[in-house]
């Protein structure tokens, strides 16, 4: 197996790792299989596709895997879960991550695996019940040191009641992509679901456009709940369960109601600082009234979800990442990047770019991501609408039992609309603050100035777009540029080509001279801002600060394609370990692995492999 690394803390064995099943013990199961035993005694094929109502999940075991081959693990994931390094060599680990083991038996009980039920809006259209069609959760792990609880699940582990017309499997190709990008995004500091391991199922034959090998990614997250979870309950008018799931989220996924943003008066006296730094510690019953619209605890929960997603989408924009299919079932309530299909990192900067081959209207293209996430959050607002709109009556017995009356409905709807609108302002503010913070950091700035947005960010992006230059390379090359080299106009023009591709630049209407001119002009604005923030004697420090946030290695489409090709067709296993190590340490200059390969992967993207697209088939 490809390279292993020792983890910092000792960690525990899989057997000793504390495990829980808070999710299945607090939320309602599929009424057709109310207990693990009833599911376990049912033939596997009876757990196939059907409609499941009034439930958050179905108990369902993974399909046994024949001769699974562990292809790789993420050492960082092992560490974060609290597993000791070397544990991946054990039969127990290999059986677990391939779906051949779970911690339950008929006599002693334990934790039975489950698949979640949810729905979703896909490309703006209501799609009905979806659910974990090929993902099966095994248990929640608790890191003994950090106490962080993660739900560990296998993607590609067989059919479930939520598989609809599909086979419950995942192909090796898409599994490699998810395995690497999950860990790559995490290393960049972008909130994401994680990947522990990649297992090949050599005996499987999965039919997509062609027959392909199947695989399983063992992945984990603080929560796999999605906006689509609420969408389905809302579509079915299941008020009780909506309230239950919202309460579960606040109390068992987040750190309790008190940890959510305090009720903040917005409106006339709205201050950005107040919005972005809400004081914590508001008691459960504390309700603040503003302009006649009250924020109860469910509104604060809604705001927390919106704020988290605002920060995550800001990080996508700042690092040029696109999910590719931002349906509500792929939008996490915990604010994680989730469900990796036709995702990509930006090569040449192009705001209209989408990696999704089937997205003909560019609904999920780069520049639309923030507004699409907000669109999804409005759907969530509608699901929670009655809880938001009820204000301080939210715990009154009549309301809990029967909901709004005809008289109370009109005001409640108005209130809910107002609260959603106000959360929209907050989403925008949090998004912009985070985007500016990350972009400022990527450009080496220590302070923020009003004029940065226009003069530095926008002008830089317009230049990259106009000259068809690479987004992430630009930041890395800028990090390494010393101010001494760009003191005069002549100097700046002379260094401008470091941002070019091997074959030069693209775009229409530029000559070599005017292209260099445009870059030189921007470099001067940037240089002056750096001098303002750092003075003249700290350039080495500034360069180090920039290198620590601007990756040298980016998990780009063309690299993932090469990895897939080599693993699948050439039987190469080592490449996976090397690319994982680069993905986990993206800010290094070199990794001591394979120098030529490192340089190739971090260098200019081969001309015809830029801005690749994928289909949704996975």
Stretch that binds Mg ion, among 64-72, 324-332, 434-442, 524-532 (CB under 5 A): 324-332
The correct pick among 339, 350, 468, 470 for binding Mg ion (CB under 5 A) is: 339
Cβ proximity to ligand AMP: between 21 and 330 the closer is 330
Length of the chain measured in residues: 618
Rounded distance, CA 131 to CA 447, Å? 45
Please choose, out of 12-20, 125-133, 181-189, 250-258, the segment that lies near ligand AMP by the rule CB under 6 A.
Answer: 125-133
DSSP-derived secondary structure for 133-192: SSEEEEEEEE-TTT--EEEEEEET----TT-TTS-S-EEHHHHHHHHHHHHHHHHTT--B
Comparison of 163 and 192: residue with beta carbon closer to ligand AMP? 163
Provide the 3-class DSSP secondary structure of residue 109: strand
What tokens appear for 170 in the block? 């995942």
Least Å from the CB of residue 380 to Mg ion: 16
Contact code string over 129-168 relative to ligand AMP, x by CB under 6 A: -xxxxx---------------------------xx--xxx
Give the nearest distance from C-beta 132 to ligand AMP in angstroms: 5
Beta bridge partners of 335: none
Cβ at position 230, least distance to Mg ion in Å: 15
Tokens read off for 507 = 């775009």
The Cα–Cα gap between 427 and 228 comes to 19
Q: Give yes or no: 329 in active site.
A: yes
Least distance to Mg ion from the beta carbon of 335, Å? Answer: 16
**Which residue in the set 79, 231, 339, 434 belongs to the binding site for ligand AMP (CB under 6 A)?**
339
Query: Which one of 169, 199, 330, 433 is in contact with Mg ion (CB under 5 A)?
Result: 330
Q: For the CB of residue 153, give the shortest distance to ligand AMP in the complex, in Å.
A: 11
* 205/312 Cα distance (integer angstroms): 36
Choice between 129 and 186, CB closer to ligand AMP: 129
Q: Is 528 in the site for ligand AMP (CB under 6 A)?
A: no
Kindly state the smallest distance separating residue 206's Cβ from ligand AMP, in Å. Answer: 8
Nearer to ligand AMP, 48 or 110 (CB): 48
Contact present, 339 and 327 (Cβ < 8 Å):
no
* Pick 157 or 275: Cβ nearer Mg ion: 157
Q: Annotated catalytic residue: which of 30, 80, 132, 329?
A: 329
Question: Is 385:415 a contact under the CB 8 Å cutoff?
Answer: no
The H or E element that residue 477 is part of is helix 471-479
Residues 591, 598 contacting (CB under 8 angstroms): yes
**Smaller CB distance to ligand AMP: residue 133 or 586?**
133
- 102 contacts 138 by C-beta, under 8 angstroms: yes
- How distant, in Å, are the alpha carbons of 178, 538, 568 from that of 220? 12, 41, 25
Cα separations (Å) of 141 from 19, 80, 83, 206, 428? 5, 10, 10, 30, 34
Residue 325 interacting entry, from ligand AMP, Mg ion, none, C-beta within 5 to 8 Å by type? ligand AMP
In the 8-state DSSP scheme, what is residue 224? Answer: -
Instruction: For the CB of residue 43, give the shortest distance to ligand AMP in the complex, in Å.
Output: 19
* Residues numbered 225-284 forming contacts with ligand AMP, rule: CB under 6 A: none
Residue number, 294 or 339, with CB nearest to ligand AMP: 339
Which residues, including other chains, have CB under 8 Å from residue 547's CB and lie 6 or more apart? 476, 479, 480, 587, 589
Residue nearest ligand AMP, CB atom distance: 133
Active site residues: 329
Interacting residue ranges for Mg ion, rule: CB under 5 A: 329-330, 339
Which residues contribute to the site for ligand AMP (CB under 6 A)? 130-134, 162-163, 166-169, 325, 329-330, 339, 341, 616
């Amino acid at each position: 197996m490809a390279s292993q690394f020792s983890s910092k803390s000792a960690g525990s064995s899989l057997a000793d790792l504390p495990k829980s099943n808070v999710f299945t013990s607090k939320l309602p199961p599929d009424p057709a299989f109310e207990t693990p035993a009833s599911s376990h005694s049912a033939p596997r094929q009876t757990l196939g596709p059907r409609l499941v109502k009034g439930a958050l999940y179905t108990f369902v075991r993974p399909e046994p895997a024949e001769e699974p081959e562990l292809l790789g693990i993420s050492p960082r994931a092992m560490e974060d879960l609290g597993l000791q390094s070397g544990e991946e060599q054990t039969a127990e680990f290999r059986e677990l991550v391939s779906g051949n083991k779970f911690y339950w038996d008929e006599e002693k009980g334990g934790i039975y695996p489950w698949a979640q039920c949810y729905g979703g809006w896909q490309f703006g259209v209501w799609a009905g019940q979806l659910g974990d069609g090929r993902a099966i959760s095994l248990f929640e792990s608790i890191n003994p040191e950090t106490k962080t609880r993660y739900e560990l699940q296998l993607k590609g582990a067989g059919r479930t009641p939520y598989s609809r017309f599909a086979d419950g499997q995942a192909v090796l190709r898409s599994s490699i992509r998810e395995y690497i990008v999950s860990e790559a995004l995490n290393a960049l500091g972008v909130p994401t679901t994680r990947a522990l391991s990649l297992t090949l199922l050599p005996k499987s034959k999965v039919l997509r456009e062609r027959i392909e090998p199947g695989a399983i990614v063992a992945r984990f997250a603080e929560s796999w709940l999605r906006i689509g979870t609420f969408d389905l309950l809302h579509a079915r008018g299941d008020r009780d369960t909506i309230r239950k799931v919202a309460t579960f989220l606040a109390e068992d996924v987040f750190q309790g109601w008190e940890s959510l943003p305090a009720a903040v008066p917005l409106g006339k006296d709205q201050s950005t600082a107040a919005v972005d730094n809400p004081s914590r510690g508001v008691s459960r019953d504390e309700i603040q009234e503003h302009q006649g619209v009250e924020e109860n605890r469910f509104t604060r929960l809604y705001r927390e979800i919106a704020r988290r997603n605002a920060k995550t989408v800001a990080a996508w924009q700042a690092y040029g990442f696109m999910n590719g299919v931002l349906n509500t079932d792929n939008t996490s309530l915990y604010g994680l990047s989730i469900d990796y299909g036709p995702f990509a990192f930006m090569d040449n900067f192009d705001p209209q770019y989408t990696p999704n081959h089937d997205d003909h209207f560019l609904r999920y293209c780069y520049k639309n991501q923030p507004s699409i996430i907000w669109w999804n959050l409005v759907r969530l607002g509608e699901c929670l609408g009655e809880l938001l709109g009820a204000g301080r009556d939210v715990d009154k017995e009549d309301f809990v039992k029967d909901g709004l009356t005809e008289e109370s409905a009109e005001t409640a709807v108005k209130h809910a609309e107002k609260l959603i609108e106000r959360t929209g302002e907050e989403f925008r503010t949090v998004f912009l603050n985070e985007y500016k913070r990350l972009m400022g950091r990527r450009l080496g700035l220590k302070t923020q100035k009003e004029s940065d947005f226009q003069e530095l960010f926008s002008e830089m992006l317009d230049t990259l777009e106009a000259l068809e230059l690479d987004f992430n390379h630009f930041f890395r090359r800028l990090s390494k540029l010393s101010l001494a080299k760009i003191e005069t106009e002549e100097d700046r023009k002379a260094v401008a080509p470091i941002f070019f591709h091997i074959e030069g630049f693209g775009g229409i209407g530029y000559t070599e001279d005017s292209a260099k001119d445009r870059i030189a002009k921007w470099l001067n604005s940037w240089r002056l801002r750096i001098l303002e923030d750092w003075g003249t004697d700290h350039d080495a420090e500034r360069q180090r600060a920039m290198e620590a946030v601007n990756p040298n290695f980016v998990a780009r489409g063309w690299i993932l394609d090469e990895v897939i090709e080599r693993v699948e067709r050439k039987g190469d296993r080592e490449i996976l370990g090397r690319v994982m190590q680069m993905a986990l340490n993206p800010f290094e200059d070199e990794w001591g692995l394979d120098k030529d390969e490192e340089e190739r992967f971090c260098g200019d993207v081969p001309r015809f492999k830029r801005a690749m697209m994928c289909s949704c088939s996975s």
